[in-house]
Chains A and B, each alone.
Chain A
Amino acid sequence: MTNSNQTTARKPGIPAEQKPVPLALTARISTLASNQSTILIGVMVLLIVVFSVLEPKFFSAPTASNILTDWGSVVLIAVGQTFVVISGGIDLSVGAIIGLSGVVSAWTMANVLKVDQTVSGADASGPLLIGTLVSVGVGLLVGLTNAFLINKLRIVPFIATLSTMGAALGLSVIISSGQPIGSANNFSLIAAMDPKTNPLSWALIVVIVVVTIAGLFLHKARFGLYTYAIGSNTFAARGAGINVERHLTLVYALSGALAGLAGMYVYLRLGAGSPSSGTGRELDAIAAVVIGGASLMGGIGRIWGTVLGALILFTVQSGLIMVGVAPDWKKVVVAILIAAAVAAQTLQSKNGRK
């Protein structure tokens, strides 16, 4: 540090707090048991065991592939939401961005790039790349709009992102006239990338890479540190010289851009850009984030938790369907999961903070 050459004497009499000595085995097990991700993995394993016992077909590659495919469409926006929630905000617009970016991207590919069903193979990769950039760009624009409303107009994030959610939904219906655009079913490259036909499709690999990079930036880099600092204590963050408004702009832009990427993913899955393709997904994302242990008060949350939270969410959903529970019960079970996650969090922080 800058002043480390100063000559102030050390105070010998003051005992510095010791680093914890290696714990006894029982203590180690109990720390492990109170560790968030251990609990989540435990829940995950339990769910797989229970559903497999109730319906042996559940324990199969196609089921796993289905769950992973669904997971891929929500984990991107859930990761964006993790940053937003840690910073102390919320982003309700991400579901609508999936619809809007998918529609705009599909429209561009169909009408500007003149992609039709005759285009295939390597010819498709260019348009696909441009389509992805358009999709991410649309998400980025909505994210920047959110940041503008929150930073410049001082609208609370809930209301700001609720308005852009409405606007994005409306726009995507206007652009598409309410109809899905551009069937890509014969679009061979897209078909090859369709996560349905191949469990680890290229699309899913891209998702996993993006999530990993986001996790590194959240937990290892300055970007994440500032996100936590702002959510933990905005006054302290500002007092430490952090440009809070600029950082929040980046956070909402990131959330929007990831939602745009998710829009492309969903487009590939459906083979078309549909205005309603992301409806309600923002709630799935928030559920995943909360199940993963983040606090809507800000300052707390982990990417790994969100990743597992989203996985648990879709394991429950597909498991319930496979064991023959009526689909409407799905919502009830998800609601119970969220309540349980929040309750567990409250209890834990009560124990943790004396």
Chain B
Amino acid sequence: MTGEVIYEVKNVSKRYGSVVALDGASLKLHAGEVLGLVGDNGAGKSTLVKVLSGAHQPNGGKIYLDGVERTWGSPREALEAGVETLYQDSGLAPHLTVSQNVFLGREKTVKGIFGKMGFLARKEMEHDAHEDLERVGIAVPASDRPVSQLSGGQRQAVAIGRAVAWARRVIILDEPTNHLGARQAGEVLQVVRAAKAKGLGVIFISHTLPHVLEVTDRVVVLRLGKIVMDAPTSEFDGDRLIGVLTGTIQTVRVEGD
């Protein structure tokens, strides 16, 4: 039930000084598809996320959204194109409240001349942010609390709620079940399925392999910055996935290039 290719990278590379974090990685994401991205610590998953979200500029390679080549100069450009990202770490501003974080960069202003000057409709945003988070339904904190006072799971809920509320084409979730209890992690998987049902392309990154096997349609394995496997989830079971991840099972690329 997956559709057109919406998001694609071809042969992207990213170096941090002498560290090669991404080495010629290529992948395709279809509408209504959940793509699992797995790999050991330091494999380059978050780096790929940052390239896809516009937070980092790749040293080489190409990015296509809806078949059109794009270069993201900043996250704003990717956001405006409908690509929403939950970063693995530090995606929220701790001194701001829940609703300020949910609406950051897309604030609602009051009507009239004061709105033009940037005066904010705080109550309205607090109300709407609360509704958005309730819809995600993970661990809903009060909208006017500073994020620094929330538990790890509540923070994660805010970050997910923010991404889900705004995504129009693609949603990238870098370890969204971090800090979450078993039940809340289950809710995240529900959120992923709902996004898929809406026809979004979802990239789901996790070290919890049962979650990956449960929710994804396809799995891409990264090892030392290279994509070593790209196959339908049905071809994997837990042991085989671990084998590929750690390199004890040798692989050939099935898709890409």
Chain A: residues with CB nearer than 8 A to chain B? 1-4, 6, 8, 10-11, 14, 16-20, 216-217, 220-223, 225, 228-229, 231-233, 235-243, 299-300, 352-353
B130: contacting residue among A16, A221, A237, CB under 8 A: A16
Do A232 and B141 touch across chains, with their CB atoms under 8 A apart? no
Query: Which one of A4, A17, A235, A240 has the highest number of Cβ atoms from chain B below 10 Å of its Cβ?
Result: A240
**Interface positions of B from 156 to 184, Cβ below 8 Å from A:** 164-168
Task: Please report the C-alpha to C-alpha distance between residue A223 and residue B75 in the assembled complex, in whole angstroms.
Answer: 19
Q: Give the 9 A-B residue pairs with the shortest CB-CB distance, closest first.
A: A11-B137, A222-B118, A240-B105, A241-B76, A299-B95, A241-B105, A232-B93, A232-B95, A240-B104
Do A236 and B118 touch across chains, with their CB atoms under 8 A apart? no
Asked, given contacts A2-B168, A300-B95, whether A222 binds B135 with beta carbons under 8 Å apart, the answer is no
Interchain nearest-CB distance for B104 vs A (Å): 4
B166: contacting residue among A2, A11, A216, A238, CB under 8 A: A2
Task: Please report the C-alpha to C-alpha distance between residue A300 and residue B148 in the assembled complex, in whole angstroms.
Answer: 12
Task: Please report the C-alpha to C-alpha distance between residue A17 and residue B141 in the assembled complex, in whole angstroms.
Answer: 5
Task: Please report the C-alpha to C-alpha distance between residue A232 and residue B100 in the assembled complex, in whole angstroms.
Answer: 12
Do A299 and B105 touch across chains, with their CB atoms under 8 A apart? no
Interchain nearest-CB distance for A53 vs B (Å): 40
Chain B, residue nearest A301 (CB): B95
B79 sits at the interface (CB 8 A): yes
Task: Please report the C-alpha to C-alpha distance between residue A228 and residue B97 in the assembled complex, in whole angstroms.
Answer: 11
Asked, given contacts A11-B137, A239-B75, A241-B75, whether A4 binds B128 with beta carbons under 8 Å apart, the answer is yes
List of B residues within 8 angstroms of A299 by Cβ: 93-95
Chain A, residue nearest B107 (CB): A222
Query: Which one of A19, A233, A299, A353 has the highest number of Cβ atoms from chain B below 10 Å of its Cβ?
Result: A233
Task: Please report the C-alpha to C-alpha distance between residue A220 and residue B92 in the assembled complex, in whole angstroms.
Answer: 20
Task: Please report the C-alpha to C-alpha distance between residue A4 and residue B164 in the assembled complex, in whole angstroms.
Answer: 11
Interchain nearest-CB distance for B223 vs A (Å): 26
Chain A, residue nearest B166 (CB): A2
B117 sits at the interface (CB 8 A): yes
Do B91 and A236 touch across chains, with their CB atoms under 8 A apart? yes
Interchain nearest-CB distance for B16 vs A (Å): 15
Interchain nearest-CB distance for B109 vs A (Å): 7
B131 sits at the interface (CB 8 A): yes
List of A residues within 8 angstroms of B117 by Cβ: 217, 221
Contact with A along B100-130 (1 / 0, CB 8 A): 1100111101000000011110100000101
A-B contact pairs, 20 of them (CB 8 A): A2-B165, A3-B166, A6-B198, A8-B135, A16-B140, A17-B140, A17-B145, A221-B117, A222-B118, A222-B119, A225-B96, A225-B107, A232-B96, A235-B55, A236-B90, A239-B85, A239-B87, A241-B74, A243-B74, A299-B95
List of B residues within 8 angstroms of A236 by Cβ: 87, 90-93, 101, 104
Task: Please report the C-alpha to C-alpha distance between residue A3 and residue B80 in the assembled complex, in whole angstroms.
Answer: 15
Task: Please report the C-alpha to C-alpha distance between residue A19 and residue B144 in the assembled complex, in whole angstroms.
Answer: 9
Query: Which one of A225, A232, A239 has the highest number of Cβ atoms from chain B below 10 Å of its Cβ?
Result: A239
Do A228 and B95 touch across chains, with their CB atoms under 8 A apart? yes
B53 sits at the interface (CB 8 A): yes
Do B119 and A353 touch across chains, with their CB atoms under 8 A apart? no
Do A237 and B93 touch across chains, with their CB atoms under 8 A apart? yes
Interface residues of B toward A: which range?
35 or more
Do A239 and B109 touch across chains, with their CB atoms under 8 A apart? no
Interchain nearest-CB distance for A216 vs B (Å): 8
List of A residues within 8 angstroms of B132 by Cβ: 1, 4
B134 sits at the interface (CB 8 A): yes
B194 sits at the interface (CB 8 A): yes
Task: Please report the C-alpha to C-alpha distance between residue A220 and residue B121 in the assembled complex, in whole angstroms.
Answer: 9
B149 sits at the interface (CB 8 A): yes
Contact with A along B29-57 (1 / 0, CB 8 A): 00000000000000000000000010100
A231: contacting residue among B95, B106, B131, CB under 8 A: B95
Do A241 and B93 touch across chains, with their CB atoms under 8 A apart? no
List of B residues within 8 angstroms of A223 by Cβ: 118
| Known interface pairs A221-B117, A300-B95, A352-B149; 4 further A-B residue pairs with C-beta atoms within 8 A, sorted by A's residue number | A3-B164, A8-B194, A221-B118, A233-B94
Do A14 and B140 touch across chains, with their CB atoms under 8 A apart? yes
Chain B, residue nearest A238 (CB): B75
Task: Please report the C-alpha to C-alpha distance between residue A239 and residue B166 in the assembled complex, in whole angstroms.
Answer: 13
Do B118 and A17 touch across chains, with their CB atoms under 8 A apart? no
List of B residues within 8 angstroms of A231 by Cβ: 95
List of A residues within 8 angstroms of B120 by Cβ: 220-222, 225
B93: contacting residue among A18, A20, A229, CB under 8 A: A229
Task: Please report the C-alpha to C-alpha distance between residue A3 and residue B53 in the assembled complex, in whole angstroms.
Answer: 20
Do A353 and B148 touch across chains, with their CB atoms under 8 A apart? yes
Query: Which one of B104, B132, B135 has the highest number of Cβ atoms from chain A below 10 Å of its Cβ?
Result: B104
Interchain nearest-CB distance for A217 vs B (Å): 8
Task: Please report the C-alpha to C-alpha distance between residue A2 and residue B140 in the assembled complex, in whole angstroms.
Answer: 20
Task: Please report the C-alpha to C-alpha distance between residue A6 and residue B74 in the assembled complex, in whole angstroms.
Answer: 28
**Interface positions of B from 175 to 216, Cβ below 8 Å from A:** 187, 194, 198
Interchain nearest-CB distance for B177 vs A (Å): 16
List of A residues within 8 angstroms of B104 by Cβ: 225, 229, 236-237, 240, 242
B142 sits at the interface (CB 8 A): yes
Do A225 and B100 touch across chains, with their CB atoms under 8 A apart? yes
List of A residues within 8 angstroms of B106 by Cβ: 240-241
Task: Please report the C-alpha to C-alpha distance between residue A11 and residue B94 in the assembled complex, in whole angstroms.
Answer: 27
Interchain nearest-CB distance for A245 vs B (Å): 10
List of B residues within 8 angstroms of A18 by Cβ: 142
Task: Please report the C-alpha to C-alpha distance between residue A221 and residue B119 in the assembled complex, in whole angstroms.
Answer: 4
Chain B, residue nearest A18 (CB): B142
